Amino acid sequence: MATVGIIGAGQLGQMLGIAGRHLGIDCVFLDPAENPPARGVGEVIRLPFDSAEGLAQLAERCDVVTYEFENVPVDALSKLPADLPVYPPPAALRNAQDRLMEKTLFCSLDIPVPGFRAVDSVADLEAAAGVLGLPLVLKTRRLGYDGKGQQVVRGTHEMGDAIAALGGKQLIAEQWVAFDREVSAIGARSVSGEIAWYPLTENVHAGGILSTSRAPADAEALEDVARAYLERLLERLDYVGVLALELFVTGGRLLANEFAPRVHNSGHWTIEGSRTSQFENHLRAILDMPLGDTGMQGQAGMVNLIGRIPANRVPFEGRNRHLHDYGKEPRPGRKLGHVTVVTRDPHERDRVLKELANHLNS
Amino acid sequence: MATVGIIGAGQLGQMLGIAGRHLGIDCVFLDPAENPPARGVGEVIRLPFDSAEGLAQLAERCDVVTYEFENVPVDALSKLPADLPVYPPPAALRNAQDRLMEKTLFCSLDIPVPGFRAVDSVADLEAAAGVLGLPLVLKTRRLGYDGKGQQVVRGTHEMGDAIAALGGKQLIAEQWVAFDREVSAIGARSVSGEIAWYPLTENVHAGGILSTSRAPADAEALEDVARAYLERLLERLDYVGVLALELFVTGGRLLANEFAPRVHNSGHWTIEGSRTSQFENHLRAILDMPLGDTGMQGQAGMVNLIGRIPANRVPFEGRNRHLHDYGKEPRPGRKLGHVTVVTRDPHERDRVLKELANHLNS
């Protein structure tokens, strides 16, 4: 069987590695961290993500390369041998790394987005505010994640500080969207071009970090539109692997926010809640196997365990609950684990999610 | 989180280890094999199962000990520190290792069994044949598995040879059962005494080795009786962990054949086909967590890959199929992997199982 090289050995790499173990696929990881979560499921090459030596070692040991986070330097991937497949394709990564390219791509695919403008100065921002209105969200074009690299700008007086706080240039101003809710459309496309979708997932963020997901989202009327957007994106990018498209729901419409060229936190519920997890389907896609059935197994929910895992784990361990502990050192804002809830009834799922949220906040 | 010590690092150990990885539970294995399947999910102490040094190393590293096969020497377990929990309890192991004790236990629990007699000589066997009729099955009391250690005795003239072939004594003669089908009842009991059951699984053996399983078995009328038997057994043994009770169905009745004090090949379908796999529930049980939901996810089937995995893996990789490759060297009669099938419709499941069987035999 094939060996998969994975750049990054965090929890997403760990869950890919676990899926690989079942399939008889070895995963080898590249990650400089000392005790990364994936260490328990495969060998970790302890070198930086962009290290020529590390990438050479990875290339030597694997048949295909993938990555578990979108801030992999695209230039680093060009250090890999030309005949070694890299999935998702680096072009997808490049588009996902730059919010301006990403939004422009959405527009070219007729996928609606909030209004946006490139910003490199206060003058640019003032002009953007004239078109987009205030408040608006100012973001770095590159390297943002989990709400980092963003500032809400409420008035002209805040503009200078906001720009300075974000490094002064290479920014993007985005229209403020008073969204009703957030959903993600997760799909996979294989080397052969086969596409599979998961039901829409509804997400709730807290402090810029995903806190809770529910699937299927109570949004049947939007499924077809979201899938059409996802499919356009997958096709245009000649994409291979799992992709997550994050969307705002506002007034019954969908606006694309961003996409992640990788398995995604909002799809963690698929491990227990779907016939085939996003992790197994990512491996199937990049190894050109047929994609697995994405049918639901019930009503699924997911709660992230952020910063600390309470000493009392009993509420995470009930019969309709599945605790995932990534084995990471606690640190504020750090994703340490998650709990999946799968029930027959959506009200029961929501009751359990509430119980878990209460426990986390107690 | 806890560390679980597992005696044996075969595919059952591997699948326990995979379930552990999600829960954040480390597994450490004791196995003398050079490249055992579980090596990819935890440290393997490469010493014999009954080695005092190996057991001491295992004990030092773990909080609870379990095992993945029933031929672990019970005496070896007594070398473990007295304050280290061993689950399933060694008394269960002792009963499962000796077919005479096992059958006697079933009788004492009012669980029907085929007629049986202890045999240590041709005279014993002749007497047994007088009561049980011919043909009968002569088995070693201990250390049989996958059809090994068994002889069908059709007439008086075969008795001497059959006894000699099985070592001359410590044998058991069992009544020949022209069963309609075979099923297994798989359940778990936790340290606290909570019990969970999976739906009955129907099994087909070939050459003494499990070849195909289907769940739920088309045997609703027998579910309650099977569960009652399973529950009696779990309670009597003060059992902790997963147990599989194999039963013959004959004329609408159930006759107990044997039980395995461990996760079981006939429960492999639970990885994709149940909300909680037998492997996760075994860990939950021995760590005294609440047991996970054993609700079905559809119509499940499983085909073992024995002796060789065909070079053409395409039929194993369809959208409703999940290939598990244990990474073992091919060898005749060896279990190298399995394919799980999960469908919405039982006829579709049976069609796919047939397709897989045809591919394996082609």
Q: What angle do CA A264, A209, B19 make, to 5 degrees?
A: 45
- Name the closest residue on chain B to residue A314, using Cα atoms: B289
Residue A330's contacts (CB-CB under 8 Å, 6 or more residues apart) are A307, A308, A309, A336
Rg of chain B over all Cα atoms, to the nearest angstrom: 20
Beta strands at A26-30 and A43-45: parallel, antiparallel or unpaired:
parallel
Inspect the interface and report whether the beta carbons of A295 and B344 lie closer than 8 Å.
yes
- DSSP element (H, E) containing A247: strand A241-250
Position B32 confidence tier, pLDDT thresholds 50, 70, 90: very high
Q: How far apart are CA B121 and CA A199, in angstroms?
A: 66
Structure tokens at B51: 């080695």
- Phi, psi angles (nearest 5°) of residue A327: 75, 30
Q: Specify the pLDDT at position B145.
A: 66
What does the pLDDT look like over A309-351, one tens digit per residue? 999 999 999 999 999 999 999 999 999 999 999 999 999 999 9
The CATH number assigned to the domain with range B3-86 reads 3.40.50.20
What does the pLDDT look like over B80-92, one tens digit per residue? 999 999 999 999 9
- The domain defined by B115-175 carries CATH number 3.30.1490.20: yes
Of B344, B198, B352, residue with least CA distance to B267 = B198
Residue A160's contacts (CB-CB under 8 Å, 6 or more residues apart) are A122
Inspect the interface and report whether the beta carbons of A323 and B292 lie closer than 8 Å.
no
| C-alpha distances in Å from residue A111, one per residue of A88, A227, A233, A255, B210 | 21, 11, 9, 7, 52
Residues 106-145 of B with CB under 8 A from A: none
- Name the closest residue on chain A to residue B16, using Cα atoms: A22
Report yes or no for ipTM above 0.90.
no
A319 in B contact zone (CB under 8 Å): yes
Q: Are A11 and A263 in contact (CB under 8 A)?
A: no
Residue A203's contacts (CB-CB under 8 Å, 6 or more residues apart) are A182, A183, A184, A210, A212, A213, A246, A266
pLDDT surpassing 70 at residue A147: no
**Which letter does DSSP use for residue A328 in this model?**
P
Q: Which residues of A touch B324 (CB under 8 A)?
A: 22-24
Q: Specify the pLDDT at position A64.
A: 98
Mean residue pLDDT of chain A comes to 94
What does the pLDDT look like over A236-264, one tens digit per residue? 999 999 999 999 999 999 999 999 999 99
Structure tokens at B182: 């075979």
Of A91, A89, A86, A119, residue with least CA distance to A105 = A91
The percent of residues above 90 in pLDDT, for chain B, comes to: 90
What does the pLDDT look like over B211-237, one tens digit per residue? 999 999 988 999 999 999 999 999 999
Q: What angle do CA B5, B6, B8 make, to 5 degrees?
A: 150
pLDDT surpassing 80 at residue A1: no
A315 in B contact zone (CB under 8 Å): no
Of B303, B305, B302, residue with least CA distance to B335 = B305
Q: How far apart are CA B47 and CA A354, in angstroms?
A: 48
Q: Are B84 and B274 in contact (CB under 8 A)?
A: no
Mean pLDDT of B293-299: 89
What pTM did the predictor assign? 0.91
Mean residue pLDDT of chain B comes to 94
Q: How far apart are CA A292 and CA B23, in angstroms?
A: 24
Structure tokens at A280: 């197994």
Position A361 confidence tier, pLDDT thresholds 50, 70, 90: confident
What does the pLDDT look like over A109-140, one tens digit per residue? 999 999 999 999 999 999 999 999 999 999 99
Q: How far apart are CA B114 and CA B340, in angstroms?
A: 32
Q: Specify the pLDDT at position B208.
A: 83
* Mutation for testing the A interface, residue in B1, B22, B190 having most A CBs under 10 Å: B22
Q: How far apart are CA B322 and CA A294, in angstroms?
A: 12
pLDDT surpassing 90 at residue B362: no
pLDDT surpassing 70 at residue B146: no
Inspect the interface and report whether the beta carbons of A42 and B41 lie closer than 8 Å.
no
Residue A38's contacts (CB-CB under 8 Å, 6 or more residues apart) are A6, A9, A10, A11, A13, A14, A16, A17, A27, A29, A31, A44
Give the minimum alpha-carbon distance from A32 to chain B in angstroms, rounded to a whole number: 20
Q: Specify the pLDDT at position B1.
A: 75
Q: How far apart are CA A254 and CA B11, in angstroms?
A: 46
Position A145 confidence tier, pLDDT thresholds 50, 70, 90: low
- Fold designation for B181-361: D-amino Acid Aminotransferase; Chain A, domain 1 (3.30.470)
Q: Which among A290, A292, A323 is the nearest to B23, CB-wise? A: A323
DSSP 3-state of B339: strand
Q: How far apart are CA B143 and CA B19, in angstroms?
A: 28
Q: Which among B24, B40, B295 is the nearest to A21, CB-wise? A: B40
Inspect the interface and report whether the beta carbons of B292 and A24 lie closer than 8 Å.
no
DSSP 3-state of A248: strand
Q: Specify the pLDDT at position A298.
A: 87
- DSSP element (H, E) containing A283: helix A278-286
Domains in chain B: boundaries: 3-86, 115-175, 181-361
pLDDT surpassing 80 at residue B101: yes
Give the minimum alpha-carbon distance from B188 to chain A in angstroms, rounded to a whole number: 13
Q: How far apart are CA B86 and CA B211, in angstroms?
A: 31
Q: Which residues of A touch B325 (CB under 8 A)?
A: 1, 23-25
pLDDT surpassing 90 at residue B167: no
Q: Specify the pLDDT at position B10.
A: 97
Give the minimum alpha-carbon distance from B30 to chain A in angstroms, rounded to a whole number: 17
B311 in A contact zone (CB under 8 Å): no
Q: Specify the pLDDT at position B147.
A: 65
Give the minimum alpha-carbon distance from A291 to chain B in angstroms, rounded to a whole number: 5
Of A55-59, A121-125, B68-72, the least confident: B68-72
**Long-range contacts of range B54-60, CB-CB < 8 Å, 24 or more positions apart?**
B54/B30, B55/B30, B55/B79, B55/B80, B57/B30, B58/B5, B58/B7, B58/B28, B58/B30, B59/B5, B59/B84
What does the pLDDT look like over B258-291, one tens digit per residue? 999 999 999 999 999 999 999 999 999 999 999 9
- Name the closest residue on chain A to residue B22, using Cα atoms: A324
Beta strands at A195-197 and A241-250: parallel, antiparallel or unpaired:
unpaired
Beta strands at B26-30 and B43-45: parallel, antiparallel or unpaired:
parallel
Q: How far apart are CA B336 and CA B331, in angstroms?
A: 9
Inspect the interface and report whether the beta carbons of A21 and B41 lie closer than 8 Å.
yes
B322 in A contact zone (CB under 8 Å): yes
Q: Specify the pLDDT at position A103.
A: 97
Give the minimum alpha-carbon distance from B346 to chain A in angstroms, rounded to a whole number: 16
What does the pLDDT look like over A265-305, one tens digit per residue? 999 999 999 999 999 999 999 999 999 999 987 899 999 99
Position A169 confidence tier, pLDDT thresholds 50, 70, 90: confident
A72 in B contact zone (CB under 8 Å): no
pLDDT surpassing 70 at residue B99: yes
Residue B311's contacts (CB-CB under 8 Å, 6 or more residues apart) are none
Q: Specify the pLDDT at position B168.
A: 83
Of B39, B34, A122, residue with least CA distance to B6 = B39
- Phi, psi angles (nearest 5°) of residue B205: -105, 155
CA atoms within 13 A on the CB side of A127: 9
Q: How far apart are CA B160 and CA B119, in angstroms?
A: 12
Residues 205-234 of A with CB under 8 A from B: none
Q: Specify the pLDDT at position A146.
A: 64
Q: Specify the pLDDT at position A296.
A: 87
Q: Which residues of B touch A41 (CB under 8 A)?
A: 21, 40-41
Inspect the interface and report whether the beta carbons of A323 and B272 lie closer than 8 Å.
no
Q: Specify the pLDDT at position B149.
A: 85
pLDDT surpassing 80 at residue A74: yes
| C-alpha distances in Å from residue B226, one per residue of B190, B210, B216, B246, B248 | 19, 20, 13, 10, 11
B288 in A contact zone (CB under 8 Å): no
B42 in A contact zone (CB under 8 Å): yes
Q: Which among B23, B293, B342 is the nearest to A293, CB-wise? A: B342
**Long-range contacts of range B318-321, CB-CB < 8 Å, 24 or more positions apart?**
B318/A290, B318/B352, B319/A196, B319/A276, B319/A290, B319/A291, B319/A292, B319/A293, B320/A275, B320/A292, B320/A293, B320/B348, B320/B352, B321/A292, B321/B352, B321/B356
Q: Which residues of A touch B41 (CB under 8 A)?
A: 21, 40-41
The percent of residues above 90 in pLDDT, for chain A, comes to: 90
Q: Specify the pLDDT at position A238.
A: 97
Q: How far apart are CA B162 and CA B137, in angstroms?
A: 10
Structure tokens at A337: 């684990």
Q: How far apart are CA A327 and CA B264, in angstroms?
A: 28
A10 in B contact zone (CB under 8 Å): no
Q: How far apart are CA B354 and CA A348, in angstroms?
A: 38
